[in-house]
Amino acid sequence: MSTDTRDRLLHGTIEALRTQGIAGVSARTIAAAAGVNQALVFYHFGSVDELLAAAAIWSTEQQVAGYRERFGRVRTLRELQRVGRELHLRESANGNVTVLGQMLAGAQTNPAFAAATRDALGLWTVEIEQVLTRVLADSPLGEVADVPGLARAVAASFIGMELLAAVDPEGDQAAFRALDQLGALLEYLDDLGPAARVAARRAVRTAVRRSVRA
């Protein structure tokens, strides 16, 4: 069956990216992971690169769908951090986010990968934007924050942390603790009185103007 083989190849590509990295994937390693003949890579996807690009988007779609419900329940920054930590722990273990990191590395020198990786990242940022909009709704940040920009910063940082975790697990844990502290500080701002919040808004707006000039 054609769709079955296509699916096996997509699965096999992710598996190969996980275990071999972007530098080690090949039609043969993918086919071996997929349990199909090597020539089928070219029959179904034309080339290894096209399969990699297709697999990146396919895999990200599935992952994002798996977290959509959980994201939808997030109402506070604390909950968002909690989900982020869960996601980090689970995906560090199964290596699915690392796959995006591998694609991102390949994308630096491959325009076709760049488009696919941008689209895959976009699937995450769309979700993160929605969550951030809710979370920041009644915070001083919410009224002036560049939510799309913040969502991209979160996604990029997350992938950086995911890549870090593999080479320095203790450093990664320390980094996550530090980000929890940062979140606590931001939440604290929500508990301030009206006068302080006005001042906080002013500070943020000033920074916005400053960064626009820069």
Residues 93-152 that bind a second copy (CB under 8 A): 95, 98, 101-102, 104-110, 114-115, 117-118, 121, 125, 140-141, 144-150, 152
Task: Indicate which single residue of 39, 59, 168, 194 sits in contact with a second copy (rule: CB under 8 A).
Answer: 168
| Binding map of DNA across residues 75-114, x = CB under 7 A, - = no contact | ----------------------------------------
Number of residues that bind DNA (CB under 7 A): 21
The partner in contact with residue 112, picked from DNA, a second copy, none with C-beta cut-offs of 5 to 8 angstroms by kind, is: none
Structure tokens at 113: 């990968």
Q: How many residues does the chain have?
A: 214
List all residues 6 or more positions away from 79 whose beta carbon is below 8 Å from its beta carbon.
73, 135
- Which listed range, 2-10, 20-28, 34-42, 57-65, lies at the site for a second copy (CB under 8 A)? 20-28
Q: In this structure, what DSSP letter does residue 110 have?
A: -
CA distance 51 to 94: 21
DSSP letter string over 12-52? HHHHHHHHH-TTT--HHHHHHHHTS-THHHHHHHSSHHHHH
The partner in contact with residue 83, picked from a second copy, DNA, none with C-beta cut-offs of 5 to 8 angstroms by kind, is: none
